[in-house]
Structure formats: structure tokens, C-alpha cells
Amino acid sequence: MKMLNLKGFILFLSAVLVWACQTPPKADPPKAVQPLPNADQVAWQKLETYAFVHFNMNTFSDREWGFGDEDPKMFNPSELDCNQWAKVCKESGLKGIIITAKHHDGFCLWPSKYTEHSIKNSPFRDGKGDLIKELSEACKAQGLKFGIYYSPWDRNHPDYGKPEYITYMRNQLTELLTNYGDIFEVWFDGANGGDGYYGGANETRKVDKLSYYDWENTYALVRKLQPHAMMFSDGGPDIRWVGNESGYAYKTTWSNLLRDSVYAGMPDYSQKYAEGQENGTHWVPAEVDVSVRPNWYYHTWDDDNVKTVAQLTDIYYESVGRNANLLFNFPVDRRGLIHEKDAENIVRWHEKIEKDFKENLIAEASLSASGSRGYGYEVDAVKDGDYDTYWTLEDGSPESSITVDFGEKTAFNRLLLQEYIPLGQRVKVFTVEAKNGEEWKEIANETTIGYKRILRLEDQEAEAIRINFKEAKDIPLINNIGVYLAPKLLIGPKVSRTKAGEVSFEKPELGLKLFYTLDGSAPTKESTMYTGPFSEPNKALLKAVSYDERTDKYSEEVQVQFEKSKSLWKILGGDEDMQKAVDGDPNTAMRAKSKTIVLDLGEELNLKGFKYAPNKGRQVHAAIKDYALYTSADQKNWENAAEGSFDNIRNNSIEQKVDFSPRKARYVKIVAKTILDDQPLPVIAEFGIITE
């Protein structure tokens, strides 16, 4: 028996030696293209999606930004269950949870020994609670990563703005990073300095955001206590803010960043740095943070405004599909639970994403490439499921291509590409062609890839596709390609109208048809089909749907109430910049020249209310808080139409609507009686009139 085993082993060894002699040595690896991610950054990128939880004193004060003077006894969730949070995230495919351990108001969700403004002085768990501990244990039980959000700004602490506060901040970070196990991400908010309670001193305190926090040594402390934790801020050092809170990265998104030019809270970050830079000096990939509701904290008025499955899906494609990680925020409610509507939609979102990528059509396809580096770098590596194998070329020109031959006409509408980022981000321009017969037709022309790029395409039928790498920093390294036929994302079109009354639709996904009505009836495929911008200057109720011809299904109906167009409107005594307040675009804003603004409607109208939109952004600025509104037929005799306050406009900076008794008028005068931030003049993104 022993002789047989020995004989078998010798035969096996002989076969291995024969194979080894016949197999060529693996080609030399390509050189790296700087900058490079470290191993922890690569592991972080592979997480792709995880959760934010905004739950703190603001949940009970009904604010977005607390002032710092809140009584700790206000914090008293009735049914807090961190296990429920973790289970919802697990069911949704999210890989971890980051909790707002301390927000700007300074209230701490753990019994910090360095402040009385904490959970230890609340009724929660009879003053013996530690929410950070409960959540860390719930995450561990569900196999989730655990992360900490810590606001550098503290509107409660008496030493904020002084050197002593930095010692306090680091003491608290030490508590958080040594008592709760492994931390995968430490999140530093870029909002720093401003008005607050500051231990009883109701005042404004400004700090030098670049130097005050001594970030170099603060980062060193985090690195010492949690060596594998990723640190987030506007400019890193490990992960950067994407520059908006709307849920999207950019069509061109570099993981490279000119990091030494960036600091947390810098005013022009979004415009100059958020997309990353091709010539960036450090690897600092983008993270997209977005709430599943309009606001970050729970408010009852948002219960009917939870993002739909379709909206959440769109966000996924514009974040993870554009070389960024996605951080979905849950505004946990006053019970201490993720609200049922939020939980339902996020679970359904995950099911939708799984359906979109259920079957990779490349699995049975034949692959070829314009070149190869040699053994170990063949083109079939892009479909072997191994992250660390990849296709690449011999050194030289990066221009190259990969062809996917299906062998027969195949329907698809998604293309997924990944670069092997441990050796740097490279591709600058690529195109995609589809082949039928002998004809090749270009179906996409794009820029960066990075860790992951997903293209949503028109429904295609092709025998083969070819991916052409046109420009790159060096030879491309592609480790994964996926081709899929996803069911249509059926959401209604986004509707906009210019000041002159021109209406435009934005198609939610390629391959859909859009239909609309203006007479109040429900739109169907028998209604008017949208083919391009059209004029509707009058008051009208527009209803629109998207339609998938392949499945004969409609999206939910979109309704937009148009007032009479603003084509004749003009702010009197104002320059061109001031006209932005009536240009029909809420994304543009103007700073008024006076607290009193007079608007000429160009004709007499039947008025019954007005609308005011403050500036959009991370924080509402110089918004009108207390107002008075007057109307006139001749600009001489004025009637008071409305007077009041936009009480919660700082925390809920959405369009405000005010009704008043109907009257005829041509002129409207709004007086900004009180302006936020003690500003002398108000900022208006858009002003509107409601007519009968």
C-alpha cells in the first residue's frame, strides 16, 4: 500500500515538473503610476456602500444644527435598538455604519469623562447608557464595519476657539478610538466655527480652519490608535468629500488629489478640488454622502419625502458607478429606530441592484485584445473573478482595445469596468463600440474609470463590443469587465422651465419614452410624447411619465404646477446679477442691494401667495428669516399682503410658500426684516408668485 502511494506521488510530481517546464515564466509586472493607494485604501474601496446614522440631540430638538444650549434630559429615545439598525443595513448589502458620536452642538453619545454635555446626564438607560458601545456590538454581531463621525466644531464647549479645546478634542478622540474595538472610518465634518452657546457665552467664534486644529498631529493620534482606520474630511488625508450632498460623483472623477492645497471647510473646495485632479499628488478617493430623506436628522415632515427606490438606484450609478464609495444616511427617528419607510426602500434598492447585475453576459463570451504583456496578463483575466489578476500591455503606447465577442446577437444595457488601482489610476479617455455584421458603431465616449465605472446605455443588441482605451497616463491595467441586461429604472422625468417659459425634460434612463399632458389628465403612451423643449408660458398643471416599451410599464406620475412664466418680470433698481432671483433657476442666487426688493411683474395678475427659496449649499447663508410682503397696482399705493417668519429655514432650507388673501397687483415688495447670520443684506436663490 505504501509502495502504491509512493508511486502515485512520484507520477504526480513528474506531471507537475512537465507542466512547469512547458509553462513560460510570468512576464515582468508593469511599473506603477503615482500616486498609489495603500492596502487599507484598496480594502476601503472594495466596501463600496455603507451607512451613515445621524442620531443625536438634534433628533429631539428637531434641528439640523443644534446651538449647544440643549438640556441633556431632552435625549430620551423610547425604543432604541441598534440591532435593528444593523439588521436593516445587513439586509441592504451595506458593509458598515458610521455614527454621529458628537455633532456640532457638542452632545456626546458616550459617557465622556471630559464633558457633562453627554448621554450620562440624560434619562436614557437611567444615565448609564453608552450608545457607541451598543452600536459597536450590534455591528460586530452582524459582521459590519463600525465607524465614528466626530465634529471638530463644538457649539457647547467654553474653550472652543482656544488652544485648550484641541486637548479636549484629542482626549475625546482617544476615548472613542480605544474603547470600542476596530474603527474602519473616522469622519471629520468640514463645518467649523460660527455662532453657539459655548458654555453660556452666546456669541460667534471664528477659527483659522487651516491651522487651528493642528491636523497633522490630530491625524497622527488617529493613526496611532487605529492604524487601519480611513480618515475623511474635505481633503482627506485618506478619503475626500465629493463636494455635494446630492448623491453624485462626476463623469470625470480622479482618485488623485492635490492634497497639500486642501483643508477642511475651505470655501472653494467644491469648485476646485472635489472632482480630483489628473496630476494629483496623493491618493485620496471620493466618498459620496447623501441622506435617504431631504434632511440629515429625523423630522416628521420628511416622512412623505423618503427617496424612492428609483432615486436611490440612480444615486448608486452616479456614485459607485463613477469611481466613488457611497455613504447612505439614515435619520434615525425619536424612537431610536430606522423608520419603516426608510428600511423598506433601502432593502428594495438593494434587491434592484442585485437584479441589475444578476448575470454577467461576458462569462460565455470570447475575448481578444490588441496586445498583451505576456503570460500572466492575458485578456481572460478580466473575467476570472480574481481582483489581483489583470490584462495589460507591453510598455509603450497606451492606446489599445479589448473585444468581447458574444457569438450571436446579445441584448445589454450596462457595461462595468475596473482598473487595477494598486498600481495607479491611468485611463483618461475610452470609447465603446458595438458590432452587427461588419459594421462597428460607437455607443459611448467617456473619460475616467478608476476603481469602478458603470455605464448605463441605451438597450443594445450586438454580436460583439469593443472597448477602446484612447488616452491614458500609461498602459491600461483592466482587472474586471462586466456586461449586463438590467431591467429599466422606471422613474418619472425631471422637469424644468426657464424664465421665458421653455419646458425641458431630463430622461431618467436611456431607452425610455416620455409622455405628458397639460390638461390635468393622466398621461399614457397615447398622450403627447416629449421630443424636445417646448414653450408653456402660462399657468398650467403638467403631468408626465416615463414609459418602457420593452415591458409596457409606466413610471410613477410626476406633477409640476407651473405659474405664469417670469418672462416679463424684473427686479427694479437692480443690476443683471440681481435678476438671478427671478431667472427660474434655483441653483443661481443673488445678493440683494437692499433689504427692500421691488419686483415688477410686467402686467397685472391675480395673486394669492408667494414663494421664496434660499441659497442651496451645505449651509443656508444670509437667508430671510422675518419678512413683510406688500403689493401694489401702481407702485404708489401699497397693501400689506403677508408678514411672518420662516422659523426653521436655517435647518430646512427648502422653498418656502406663503398664502395670502387674493388681490390684483403688478408690483410686489418684499422686506427682509431679519436676516440669518446677522448679515446686512439677504441672499435669494429664487422668488416666485402664486396666482389664482
Other CB atoms within 10 Å distance of the CB of residue 288: 26
- pLDDT given at position 618: 47
Tens of pLDDT, residues 157-211: 999 999 999 999 999 999 999 999 999 999 999 888 889 999 999 999 999 988 9
User: Average pLDDT in the 39-49 region?
Assistant: 98
Please answer whether residues 194 and 154 qualify as being in contact, where contact means their C-beta atoms are separated by less than 8 angstroms: no
- pLDDT given at position 14: 65
Run of H or E residues at 667: strand 656-675
- pLDDT given at position 144: 98
Please answer whether residues 346 and 332 qualify as being in contact, where contact means their C-beta atoms are separated by less than 8 angstroms: no
The identity of residue 531, as a single letter, is T
pTM score, whole prediction: 0.80
- pLDDT given at position 490: 85
When the pLDDT of each residue in the chain is averaged and rounded to a whole number, the result is 93
User: Average pLDDT in the 350-366 region?
Assistant: 96
Other CB atoms within 10 Å distance of the CB of residue 223: 15
Joined together, the cell numbers standing for residue 32 give 506603477
Other CB atoms within 10 Å distance of the CB of residue 66: 26
Q: Tell me the residue length of the chain.
A: 692
Going by C-alpha positions, the residue among 297, 292, 322 that lies closest to residue 307 is 292
Tens of pLDDT, residues 220-276: 999 999 999 999 998 899 999 999 999 999 999 999 999 988 877 787 888 889 999
Tens of pLDDT, residues 104-123: 999 999 999 999 999 999 99
Angle between helices 340-356 and 309-319 (to 10 degrees): 60
| pLDDT exceeds 50 at position 1 | no
HSE, side-chain direction, 13 A CA sphere, residue 318 = 18
Joined together, the cell numbers standing for residue 669 give 415688495
In terms of DSSP H, where are the helices of 62-159?
82-91, 131-142
| pLDDT exceeds 80 at position 24 | no
Please answer whether residues 54 and 109 qualify as being in contact, where contact means their C-beta atoms are separated by less than 8 angstroms: no
Start-to-end CA distance of the chain, whole Å, equals 99
Other CB atoms within 10 Å distance of the CB of residue 363: 10
